[in-house]
Structure 1
Amino acid sequence: MKFGALQRRVKRCEQVMAVRIGETQDNWGVLSQVWRQGWSPLRIVLVGLAGGFIAGKLEVPGKVNGARWLQMVGSVSSLFASAQAAFATVVAAQAAETADDAADQADEATEQPAPAAARPAAQPAPTVDTELRGPRPAEAATEMSER
């Protein structure tokens, strides 16, 4: 296979990977939102009761005691917490990249001078005699005018 063909193939794979990463992040966001919305207080209590009942029924004396169950629950919760932290890190990095790109685009836009036809002509501000017009709404709302 020629080098140019390999380069095109790698570039295509990188593009596919970028699209898949975006889709995965979108799906993960939807999943986490649905997961959070699904845990109502009633469901939390029911899962706790069911888990306690199952732990009580499956407890074999000497092999599985309460301390082991607590250790397992702690391990699983720390696993979920680290997964959430990793996801938050990825989202924050993506947001930082987006902000950097926006800042770069803004810098480029300010560096390019606008054409003379696009620039608005400087016009003097119209002067209105303040005595001829009534008070502004904010002035009318307060009993005293700033004039």
Structure 2
Amino acid sequence: MSFDKLLHKVEQAEAALEARERQCAADVRQFRRTWQALWTPGRILIAGLAGGFLSGRAEPLRAASQGGGLLRIVSTLSTLMASTGARSAADEAEQAADSVEDVARQAPHHDTGHPDAQAASAAAPAGLREPVEP
């Protein structure tokens, strides 16, 4: 197999992978919206009552002597959900930053000729350069 054919095959695989990634991200967003829509106040109340009843039916003294394992599990799950939400927000912020960079690259740059603007532009890191108005 020639190098060009291999290169073409790799490009096809990369395109397929990117399409799958986009589909997976769309599925996750849809799942998150559906999951949040399902948690109505009435269902939250019922889940809280059922959880309270079940934890009350368990042997409270034995559970307390074991160091609150149920509380640790709930705490771990809430931390997991919070970190997932934070990761999602970070991904969205990264995508927004990328799109802003793309727009900035495509927009025509206006050089003011002002020495302060040139110095500020040269001193700022590449991702943080903003036009400075005199």
Structure 2 CA distance for partners of 1:6 and 1:55, relative to 1, 3 Å: farther
Superposed, 1:19-98 pairs within 5 Å as 19-59=19-59, 62=62, 64-65=63-64, 67-98=68-99
Could you tell me how far 1:78 is from its partner in structure 2? Answer: 0.3
Residues paired across the two proteins, number: 108
Ranked by relative contact order (alpha carbons within 8 Å, sequence separation 6 or more), the top structure is 2
Superposed CA RMSD in Å reads 2.3
| Corresponding letter in the other structure for 2:57 | K
| Corresponding letter in the other structure for 1:95 | A
**Identity rate, percent:** 33
Partner Cα separation in structure 1 for residue 85 and residue 22 of structure 2: 17
Question: Who is 1:139 aligned against?
Answer: none
The TM-score, its normalising length taken from structure 2, stands at: 0.68
Gaps of 5+ in 1: 111-147
Question: Who is 1:140 aligned against?
Answer: none
Gaps of 5+ in 2: 111-134
Of 22-31 and 39-48, deviating more is 22-31
Partner Cα separation in structure 1 for residue 96 and residue 18 of structure 2: 15
The TM-score, its normalising length taken from structure 1, stands at: 0.63
